Structure 1
Amino acid sequence: MAVPDYKLSAVLSGHSMDVRCVATTKEFCILSASRDRTAKLWHPEGVKDFVNVVTYKGHKNFVSCVCWLPPCEAYPEGLVITGSNDNCILGYNLQDGSIQITIEGHENAVCSVAPGRDFGVILSSSWDSTAKVWNVSNPRAALLTLKGHQAAVWAVVELGNSTYATASADKTIKLWKKNGELIITLTGHTDCVRGLAVASSESFLSCSNDASIRMWSNMGHCLNTFYGHSNYIYSISLNPVVSNGFATSGEDGSVRLWSGGDCVREIKLPVHSVWSVTCLDNGDIVTGSSDGLIRVFTKDPARYADEATLKQFEDDVEKMQAASQQEIGGFKLSELPGPEVLLEPGKSDGQTKLVRRGTNVKCYSWSAAENTWNEIGDVMGANPASEGKTMYQGKEYDFVFNVDIKDGAPPIKLPYNKNEDPWVAAQAFIHKNNLPQVYLDQVANFIVTNAKLDSLPASSNGSFADPFTGESRYVPGSGTAAGPGAGAGGRDPFTGAGAYTPAPAHAAQPNTDNSLIPHDSYIRFDQANLKAIHEKLKEFNSKIGDGLSPVTDVQLENIVKLGEMNSAYDVETVALLKKMLEWPKEILFPVLDVTRLAVRNKEINGQIFDTSYGPSFVKYLLTLLKPDNLPANIMLSMRILVNAFSDLPGEMLVLAARESVMHSIICLTQLNNNAQIAAASLLLNLSVALAQQPDSVDLAECVIQLLNKITDNEAYFRGLVALGTLLAESPNKLQIQTKIVSNTQLNNRLKRDSATNTVDGNLRKISTCSQQIVRLL
């Protein structure tokens, strides 16, 4: 059949950040919701233009979703409904933007809003793993709460047979009766289910991060599965002028149009993410995307954009496609899967996968014995190194040594430049590869011998300074400096006894190179006094109540041993630790301290952050990140999230909850120094993971807000490294530059610090990092 030639019709510009959702209202109007905390109404003007006639304000965080609620008895003109990461739903007057209703019932970010089939009824879903049904005539209490999913509920719709369908990040869809009773759980998707659309009175559609679309009967039978996208599918919408037609959009930067189950047209956009798609009554396609623009596409030549606009659009698409065809080691980045594929087990021992991590490609091998994917190494790029240099992970080095750590294991790469201090390079190597500290001298001497160094490089003041602390190189056996508050003799606020305090945060320093940015590996909090933790656990264990059973001394000893980096453990002890995490919040902090140490262990990380317990555990940690909670609980919860990045299961769950994590950090106010360092470290790890992702702009905004509240120099330094990493690597660096320059407080301090010349080690590294950021601006 003849396929209509859809072309660009209009580009609507007005939002300053990602457009996360688009919807339609009466008279061909368009609604849009953005991370800039606003929603907008766009009214058609002339044949093909749209004008922003109303901007809806009032949310305190990203506006994630928007819909039009048709007229009802309580609101005869209808309402514009928005949901936000501030956990609230607002209803606005369509014409003047005044707030008519405020709904506060979700405990986390609102993912979707949709009208119910009954007049005046709203459906909503949230990161709190629930969906709710509301009546706008009485918005203070939900009519119904649908609770049963194990992770965020991304979408909710009412089907033609008056049942509800919910789609979740737990990879399932659930069907519910009108009284809230669960009918059936639908499985089939292998990743988060992101969107739902009612296809007919008897069927509905779902789209997923697994790049597939499924059609289901209202009774829960899978009728068909459609493939076409090459990455996550975020949104799906029925096309009213095409028989059995619908449109989808996703992370592959495209919109795809479907008819009768076939993908009949692909529309490429010059963006990384097309977050949302909807269809107007005339069949035109509307998109919201990561570049902050709304675009309208049409098959009617009368509504095509002018030739100059069409040519510019085509050129922009070509540039984006060329960038996506970038090759590393002969592999196109756009065609390689992300780290989410490592959540699925391998099919045979020794099976390998190439995985895209930012602009790098890593190779993993499946170990049937260990039941895990092990990283083999980087797939090297094709860029030639300078004469006499060796390329490693995109950088040039004088040497890239192969270091054999144990028999039977592949050698580990150790990059080194002659102007580096061997002990600093050795320490960075140990930190990156989680090796015992006792290897320091052995690795450093290996560098000295194999690099044939006649003398050690000197710094400008004649003695090499640690780039992490600014101090002279630490040599084992030379003594240790006292941590913050050493010898202070603090008192325990609960018992009045000598204080057990969680280990100071300065034990783990950012593993940055001498330029300080960008940062290229995760950091952790390692230092701890396990003996003190043990004593505090024994004390609290003897006093617990509330129906909780105390554990035995032997069990407590085993719990504490989980905090040792390479200790043996058993599944029962990890299960017991999970049980102890239910202790009352007033005595919880030593359990949190053990947990943040335990999750450094690869196997324990996998058990704590598995798909059954992990999502609820992360959600629980977020409940502890409230301003009115105990300072120790706040700080240690953030340290657990920092150390979660020690292995893939923890990393993936924290990244999945990143918007809630950022929101929690922004809402924290009175933070002590250790909590400031923990917050900055958490944002630093997020920056490493997300630097090359579209939502790096949101993360940069969060970092900027934290930097303006920080008083501790170490925390401020880590925040600067996070900001510099994003600024150097983000695909949206111009937006980040604008945010920094427009923030007078931070911009003035950067200029002031970059001009500072000091011998103080902590202030010097802040000055150096500020200079790097100012250069990037």
Structure 2
Amino acid sequence: MAVPDYKLSAVLCGHSLDVRCVAKTKEFCILSASRDRTAKLWHPEGVKDFVNVVTYKGHRNFVSCVCWLPPCEAYPDGLVVTGSNDNTILGYNLQDGATQVTLEGHENAVCSVTPGRDSGILLSSSWDSTARVWNINAARNAPLILKGHQAAVWAAVELFSGSYATASADKTIKLWKKDGSIITTLTGHTDCVRDIAVASNETFLSCSNDASIKLWTNLGQCLNTFYGHSNYIYSISMNPAVANGFASCGEDGSVRLWAGGDCVRDIRLPVHSVWSITCLDNGDIVTGSSDGVVRVFTKDPARYADENTLKLFEEEVVKMQAASQQEIGGFKLSELPGPEVLLEPGKADGQTKLVRRGTNVKCYSWSAAENTWNEIGDVMGAPPTQEGKTMFQGKEYDFVFSVDIKDGAPPIKLPFNKNEDPWVAAQAFIHKHELPQVYLDQVANFIISNAKLDSQPVSSNGFADPFTGESRYVPGSGAATGGRAPPAGADPFTGAAAYTTSSTSTASSDKMLIPHDAYIRFDQANLKAIFDKLKEFNSKVGDGLNAMTEEQLESVVKLGELNNTYNNETISILKKMLGWPKEILFPVLDVTRLAVRNKEINAQIFDTAYGPSFIKYLLSLLAPDNLPANQMLAMRVLVNAFSDLPGEMLVLAARESLLHSIICFTQLNTNAQIAATSLLLNLSVALAQQPDSVELADCLVQLFSKITDNEAYFRGLVALGTLLMESPSKLQIQTRVVSNPQLHNRLKKDSGITTDPNYAKIATLSQQIIRLL
């Protein structure tokens, strides 16, 4: 069947972050929900324009979904309903945006809201692995809970048969009776099932991360499977303009129009992700995407956008497609396989594959032990190199050295640019390859020698802090203070010296300290002191908790040695000890922050079973009424969680709560200040290029008024400078800084301090930030 040619009709700008969901309401109005914590109502004006007439506010986190609930007994005018990552559902008056209903009960982010077939019935689904059926006419009654999935429930709808259908990240679809009992479980998709759409009185459609769409009967029989997308499919909507037609969208940045089981149109958008799609009653198609824009496409030439708008849209699409033609390791991006290739098992342990994800490329490695592909990281594009430069992992370097670390093992590549600090490069190299810290001096001097840099003196103990240029603590050598009393910044438990901002001759006023592009962590420790303290506190364990044997304590402390072997029983013991009373908890937290540097331990502590509850526990330790030592060490654990992907992902997922906790601190001692700014620095490295980095900048600006320690201040400035250089919302961040007189004046003052050598790096960094403002 022929499908009319669709062209861009309108571009609706107003959201500041991703538009995660679009929906329709009466009179061809559009609803949109965004990560900017708002939903909006767009009313048609004239032939093809839309105007934002109402903005719905009230959620404390991202608004992930929106729908229109038609008039019912309790709300004769109907409701605009939104779900959020704050775990709540809100219902608003359509016209004035006043909040009418608040529904609570989900234990994690709400990811879909959909009206049922009966008046006043609302279905919701959540990351808490459940769907719920609410009766808005009797909102105080407890909802019906559909519980049985093993992972997030991405969508829930009511079929014409009267049963409910739910789609889950556990790769299944479940059909439910009205009483909440399971009818059947549908399998067939090989990855997360993201959305469901009722297709007819007898059938429904599902779409999945496996890049397929399936047609099912209401009884659960799969009638057909449709292929057309090259990546995850996020949303699907029936198209009333085409008999049995529907539209879909996904991670390949496209909208696909379907008729008779065939993909008959492909509309490309200039975005990475098209998150949501809905079809209006007049056949127009509405999308919400990762660039924060709502777009309307139409088949009616009378509603086509003007020539200039169409031309600009086409140019943006061409630019995006050109980016997809970039070469990665000799392959065009468009020639690389999509995520469906990961459905096939690897042929050998350690085998790697490059996988196209939109206009991004990710590298995966096959783990024979886990029988799965593990994501290693992003692969950057490789434009032509400048003369004299060497390309390594998508970036240009002045040098790429081959370093022999172990006899019989292949050399490891060490990239370096002349404008880098050799100590920073050496420390990054050590962290990346999990080498002993004692290699720092050798690696740094290797760089200095082979790059033929001017001789750079090292500090008195032969080592330099790669972050500040000052003396560092060397594991096994005790405090770096040479027998003196620990400095004010010393760890109150281990006595190890803290970082300081004092300048040495390695500092250069011309060196750019920002942006920072590697995670930092807390490596210093006195394991003997930790062991002694654990033995002392072990004798005080009460309230039904079993004390540990000395042998068990020794095995737990050894988890703090980065390359030490361990067994799973020791991890279990550590988890039990994390349940010790808070008054004696801090040495256990100290072991934990050392242990999570290990890749395998990081994976166990931050796995999907234990990790989320552990993160919540750490957040509880940040409460203002908790012990300062617990607050400080909980933040150090969170800093070191970035040592590997599982910890990094869980910390990033909890960043809203983390930022809130840090803002709520009223008074912080020196070590806690350093821990807090270190955590914010790691967050800035992770989020610098994300639009929602503004919230992180807000936290930094507020925290600066409570910072008295120079080292903590320095780390905070590095975090702020990184955001100012790399954030797509840098103009908003600049406004935050400039509109804060206390911080702005302090930056101006510090940038002029040139006579105090102990303040050199703060002065240099302040000058760099002032230039960015």
> One fold, TM greater than 0.5?
yes
After TM superposition, the structure 1 = structure 2 runs for residues 182-331 of structure 1, keeping only pairs within 5 Å, are 182=182, 184-331=184-331
The whole-number CA distance in structure 2 between the counterparts of 1:484 and 1:10 is 70
Aligned positions of 1:292-691 closer than 5 A = 292-333=292-333, 346-349=346-349, 351-354=351-354, 366=366, 368=368, 381-387=382-388, 389-393=389-393, 397-417=397-417, 423=423, 425-451=425-451, 456-457=455-456, 468-471=467-470, 480-481=480-481, 486=486, 500=493, 506=499, 514-538=511-535, 541-542=538-539, 544=541, 548-582=545-579, 588-615=585-612, 617-618=614-615, 621=618, 632-655=629-652, 657=653, 660=656, 664-665=660-661, 668-670=664-666, 672-673=668-669, 674-691=671-688
| Residues 226 and 261, structure 2, Cα contact 8 Å, conserved in 1 | yes
Q: Deviations over 1:262-305 (max 9, x none)?
A: 22211111222222211111221111122222111111222212
Letter in 1 for 2:732: T
Q: Note the C-alpha offset of 1:165.
A: 3.5
Q: CA–CA distance in 1 between the matches of 2:90 and 2:420?
A: 56
Stretches of structure 1 lacking an aligned partner (at least 5 in a row): 491-497
* Cα offset, 1:251, TM superposition: 2.5
Are residues 311 and 474 of structure 1, via their aligned partners in 2, closer, same or farther at CA, if it must alter by over 3 Å? same
1:341 Cα deviation after fit? 8.8
- Does residue 118 (structure 1) correspond to residue 118 (structure 2)? The answer is yes
> How far did 1:566 drift?
1.0
Alignment of 1:749-764 (within 5 A): 749-750=743-744, 752-753=746-747, 755-758=751-754, 764=760
Report the Cα offset of residue 59 of structure 1: 2.8
1:236 deviates by 2.1
How far did 1:499 drift?
7.5
- Cα distance in 2 for partners of 1:412, 1:66 equals 50
Structure 2 CA distance for aligned equivalents of residues 708 and 150 of structure 1:
40
Q: 1:40 to 1:325 in 2, by over 3 A?
A: same
| Contact 2:737 2:744 (8 Å CA) reproduced | no
- Separation of aligned partners in 1, 2:496 and 2:160: 57
User: Could you tell me whether the CA contact under 8 Å between 1:340 and 1:652 is conserved in 2?
Assistant: no
Letter in 2 for 1:89: I
1:121-149 Cα distance to aligned partner (Å, 9 max, x none): 22223344443333334445632334455
Secondary structure at the residue paired with 1:438?
A: helix
TM-score (norm 2): 0.84
Between 1:287-296 and 1:717-726, the stretch displaced more is 717-726
Shift of 1:587: 5.4
Aligned with 2:480: secondary structure?
Answer: coil
Residue equivalent to 1:86: 86
Give the whole-Å Cα distance in 1 for the aligned partners of 2:549 and 2:469: 45
Aligned-partner SS, 1:400: strand
Q: Call closer, same or farther: CA 1:241–1:415 in 2, change over 3 Å.
A: closer
SS of equivalent to 2:600: helix
User: 1:767 offset after TM fit, Å?
Assistant: 3.9
Q: 1:538 to 1:481 in 2, by over 3 A?
A: same
Q: Describe the shift of the 1:213–1:6 C-alpha distance in structure 2 as closer, same or farther (beyond 3 A).
A: same
Contact 1:247/1:256 (8 A) holds in 2: yes
Deviations 1:523-548 (A, max 9, x none): 22323343444455445555556665
Q: Supply the AA of the counterpart residue of 2:11.
A: V
Distance 1:611 1:333, change over 3 A: farther
Aligned counterpart, 1:699: 693
Change (3 A) 1:180 1:527: farther
- Amino acid in the other structure paired with 2:513: L
SS in 1 for 2:703: coil
Instruction: Tell me by how many angstroms 1:662 deviates.
Output: 5.9
CA separation of 1:336/1:449 partners in 2, compared to 1, >3 Å: closer, same or farther? same
Q: Secondary structure of the residue that 1:308 maps to in structure 2?
A: helix
Aligned AA for 1:594? V
| One-letter amino acid matched to 2:307 | E
Write the letter of the residue equivalent to 2:643.
S
Consecutive unaligned residues in structure 2, runs of 5 or more: none
Q: Does 1:736 align with 2:730?
A: yes
Percent of residue pairs bearing the same amino acid type: 74
- State the shift of 1:436 in Å: 0.6
Instruction: Give, in whole Å, the separation in 2 of the partners of 1:637 and 1:411.
Output: 37
**Aligned-partner SS, 2:692:** helix
Deviation at 1:570, TM superposition (A): 1.1
- In structure 1, what is the equivalent of residue 764 of structure 2? 768
Query: In structure 2, do the counterparts of structure 1 residues 685 and 149 end up closer, same or farther at CA, with 3 Å as the change threshold?
Result: farther
C-alpha offsets along residues 3-53 of structure 1, whole Å, 9 cap, x if unaligned? 321111112223333322211111211111223332221222232222222
What one-letter code is carried by the residue in structure 2 that aligns with 1:228?
G
The CA deviation string for residues 49-84 of structure 1, in whole angstroms up to 9 with x for no partner, is 222222222333332221111111111111111223
What CA distance in whole angstroms lies between the structure 1 residues aligned with 2:485 and 2:237?
A: 59
Q: How far off is 1:169 after superposition?
A: 4.0
2:698 is paired with a residue whose SS is helix
The amino acid that maps onto 1:2 is A
Give the equivalent residue in structure 2 for 1:23: 23
- Change in CA separation of 1:598 and 1:473 when aligned onto 2, cut-off 3 Å: closer
1:36 is aligned to: 36
Amino acid at match of 2:644: D
Over 3 Å counting, the alpha-carbon distance change for 1:259 and 1:630 in structure 2 is farther
- Cα distance change, pair 262–519 in 1 and its aligned pair in 2 (3 A): farther
Quote the Cα distance in structure 1 between the aligned partners of 2:494 and 2:338. 39
Report the Cα distance in structure 1 between the residues aligned to 2:180 and 2:561, rounded to whole angstroms.
46
Query: Which amino acid in 1 is paired with 2:413?
Result: K
Supply the distance in 2 between the matched residues of 1:515 and 1:620 (Cα, whole angstroms).
Answer: 38
Check whether the contact 1:740–1:746 (CA below 8 A) recurs between aligned residues: no
How far does residue 601 in structure 1 lie from its aligned partner after superposition? 1.2
Q: Would you say the 8 A contact 1:469–1:762 is kept in 2?
A: no
Counterpart contact for 2:230–2:338, Cα < 8 Å:
no
Match of 1:158 in 2: 158
Instruction: Please state whether the residue corresponding to 1:697 is helix, strand or coil.
Output: coil
Q: How much has 1:683 moved relative to structure 2? A: 4.2
For residues 325 and 183 of structure 2, the distance between their equivalents in structure 1, rounded to whole angstroms, comes to: 46
Name the stretch that deviates more: 396-405 or 658-667. 658-667
* Partner Cα separation in structure 2 for residue 638 and residue 185 of structure 1: 42
CA 191–651 in structure 1, closer or farther in 2 if over 3 Å, else same? farther
Q: CA deviation at 1:432?
A: 3.5
Give the distance between the partners of 2:239 and 2:495, measured in 1 at CA. Answer: 57
8 A Cα contact 2:211 2:340, kept in partner:
no
Residues 473, 497 of structure 2: 8 Å contact kept = no
Offset from partner CA, 1:419-455 (integer Å, 9 cap, x none) = 66655543443233321122233324433544456x5
Number of matched pairs: 756
Contact 2:392/2:400 (8 A) holds in 1: yes
More deviation, 177-186/21-30: 177-186
Partners of 1:124 and 1:616 in 2: how far apart? 23
